[in-house]
Amino acid sequence: MKCYVNPHRIYGTVNPMVYGHFIEHFHRQIYGGVYDPASPFADEDGLRTDVLDAMRNIKVPVLRWPGGCFVSSYHWKKAVGKNRMPFYDKAWRMEDPNTFGTDEYIKFCRKIDCAPYICTNAGTGTAEEMSDWVEYCNLKEQGEYAKQRIENGFPEPHAVKYWSIGNENYGAWELGAKDAEEWSRLVLESAKMMKHVDPTIELSAAALTDPNWNLKLLQKAGNFLDWISIHVYYDALQNSWEYAPSDYETMMGRTGKVRNSIVKVRGTLMMLGLEKRIKIAYDEWNPRGWHHPGIHQNLGAGLENDEFLKARDKNDINSTYTMADAVFTACFLNECIRNCDMVKMANFAPLLNTCGPIFTYDGGIVKRSTYYVFELMTHHMGDISVDFWTDKCSEETMGGQQVKMVDLAAAVRSCDGALTLSAVNKSDAVTQEIEIPLPEGYSSSTVYTVNGPSKDSYNDIGREEVRITEGEAILSGGTVSVKLSPHSVNLIILR
């Protein structure tokens, strides 16, 4: 397959926030995850230094918190200051100690040098409660809540720029779910109050790929929104007590769904003439869904809480997260790069434990296959998306779908002018060869690859099968030739 790249035909600038992440008060993500004062790795604030180092390495640009479904019954005022009482988290049916709240989250973000992104309670909460949270975080000294922050030991504002109104409030599973009319009205009033407190913040609101829902939301509240929030998971593991992650072939068959959702949301924004002003945030996404059976639709009536928690432990079976997850993740990020004019944020959900790229245990961490995709992209991928085209691409039937075997995105690095090509081979058995005629001025190349011995390779405690390797492409007659191994994620750099 030949791939032609024109580094002078620019699609747009890739916002680094497409490599963002998300963390929720679910199972071991916060407590026993990033926040574990009893751990030998804990720093003075109870945050695990090994986790912080791993997050810094993948240059986490933005971190969404505290939920997720958790936020729809979360009242932030009870988790600041010295006097904190545990509360019963009605979303996940367990007690939360309330020891990790707004101020701890901000410290966490500062330590990994990322932008905070707060999701507000639009389930059991109110517009006023949301705007009070903006007061606490962003006002210098005016009002009750800024003064409270100062009393709590933070004289300077937290300066939180990114805020989301609600989480999946369109769904019957969400506490305080709304229909489209209710939702658009609540978003309008919440956005007004929040921007009256701080007009410089950027606001998102829970939306769908469904044009009907989005039309009502955008027609009513679009003038106050800067983002539209979309959530996508591609392997539903949530509600069945059977834990049955899909295999490699099935996951590859679903990679075509990534583009479909972007096309639908893009089309709605363009129809309303909002494509230049409102950006798309995939602020919860993952190849795998979260496993939490018995919670939604009241399927767990009569069960003890220990039974819910035990089922959630299956999320941390590291053998689940294979090259299928790495390849799918790279395809998703490539789609964001190709659509960088409108997709400006994406938050892998979650950052650690559950189905995140980092797994914690008492003796340290495991970097799962997806971790290395983020390391590859944040360290080497360009930030100016450019045009490319191919002469042909082989196809296979995988998971019942016709799938193109190679997925590509091209970008120039503004820091040094290098041309970078993200090239993913979805085939589980066939090596794909790609030839790139060198654009004028380019004469050398390097290839970085994320892969393991098989499509089912994974990392675990004492086991590292998936990693990044470095190699060189073959240069001959003004053409670069690269062999893409089966089930591999590759980044080709031309200098």
- What's the burial of 267, exposed, middle or buried (CB within 10 Å: 0-12/13-18/19+)? middle
pLDDT band at 304 (very low <50, low <70, confident <90, very high): confident
Judge whether residue 395 has pLDDT over 70.
yes
Please state which of the ranges 103-107, 180-184, 236-240, 269-273 shows the lowest mean pLDDT: 236-240
E strand or H helix at 299:
none
Cis omega (within 30 of 0) for bond into 245: no
Which pTM value belongs to this model? 0.97
Please state the rounded mean pLDDT for residues 258-271.
Answer: 92
pLDDT at 303 over 80: no
> Given this model, what pLDDT does residue 297 score?
58
**Coil vs helix vs strand at 259:** helix
Report whether 167 contacts 205 (CB < 8 A): no
- Are 409 and 337 in contact, with CB atoms under 8 Å apart? yes
DSSP 8-state secondary structure symbol assigned to residue 449? E
Quickly state the pLDDT bin for 298 (edges 50, 70, 90).
low
The mean predicted confidence, pLDDT, of the chain is 95
Q: What is the pLDDT of residue 32?
A: 95
Q: Find, among 15, 5, 3, the residue nearest to 381 by Cα.
A: 15
**Spans of all domains in the chain:** 3-8+383-494, 15-380
Segment 100-107 shows an average pLDDT of: 98
Phi, psi of 404 (to 5 degrees): -70, 130
Task: Please determine whether the domains at 3-8+383-494 and 15-380 fall in the same fold group of CATH.
Answer: no
Q: Measure the CA–CA gap between 45 and 54, rounded to whole angstroms.
A: 17
Give CATH for domain 15-380.
Answer: 3.20.20.80
Look at residue 144 and give its three-state secondary structure.
Answer: helix
Q: Tens of pLDDT along 68-87?
A: 999 999 999 999 999 999 99
Residue 448 has pLDDT above 90, yes or no: yes
Instruction: Name, in order, each residue with C-beta under 8 angstroms of 480's C-beta and a sequence gap of 6 or more.
Output: 435, 436, 438, 445, 473, 474, 492, 494
Where residue 295 falls among pLDDT bands split at 50, 70, 90? Answer: confident
Number of H helices, E strands in the chain: 11, 26
| Stretch 372-379: mean pLDDT | 98
Q: Please, are residues 353 and 28 in contact by the beta-carbon 8 Å criterion?
A: yes
Host H or E run for residue 62: strand 62-65
* Per-residue pLDDT, 294: 81
Position 413: which residue type? R
Which of 293, 296, 286 lies closest to 307, judged by CA?
293
**pLDDT value for 366:** 98
On the question of pLDDT at 300 being above 60, the answer is no
Alpha helices per DSSP H over 92-171: 102-112, 127-138, 143-151
Q: Is 223 helix (H, G, I), strand (E, B) or coil?
A: helix
pLDDT band of residue 455 (cuts 50, 70, 90) is very high
pLDDT at 388: 97
- According to the 3-state scheme, what is the secondary structure of 400-414? CEEEECEEEEEEECC
How far is residue 364's CA from residue 277's CA, in Å, rounded to a whole number?
A: 43
Read off the pLDDT of residues 120-141 as tens digits, 9 standing for 90 and up: 999 999 999 999 999 999 999 9
pLDDT tops 80 at residue 239 = no
In the chain, % of residues over pLDDT 70 = 99
Q: Where are the beta strands (DSSP E) in 198-315?
A: 202-205, 227-233, 279-286
Task: Kindly report, residue by residue over 183-225, the tens digit of the pLDDT.
Answer: 999 999 999 999 999 999 999 999 999 889 999 999 999 999 9
Superfamily name and number for 3-8+383-494: Golgi alpha-mannosidase II (2.60.40.1180)
Of residues 309 and 146, the one with the higher pLDDT is: 146
Q: What is the pLDDT of residue 299?
A: 58
Write the pLDDT tens digit of every residue in 18-76: 999 999 999 999 999 999 999 999 999 999 999 999 999 999 999 999 999 999 999 99
User: Cβ neighbours of residue 44 under 8 Å, at least 6 residues apart?
Assistant: none
Nearest one of 96, 91, 115 to 105, comparing CA atoms: 115
Percent with pLDDT over 90 in the chain: 90
- Over residues 231-243, the mean pLDDT reads 87
The predicted pLDDT at position 301 comes to: 59
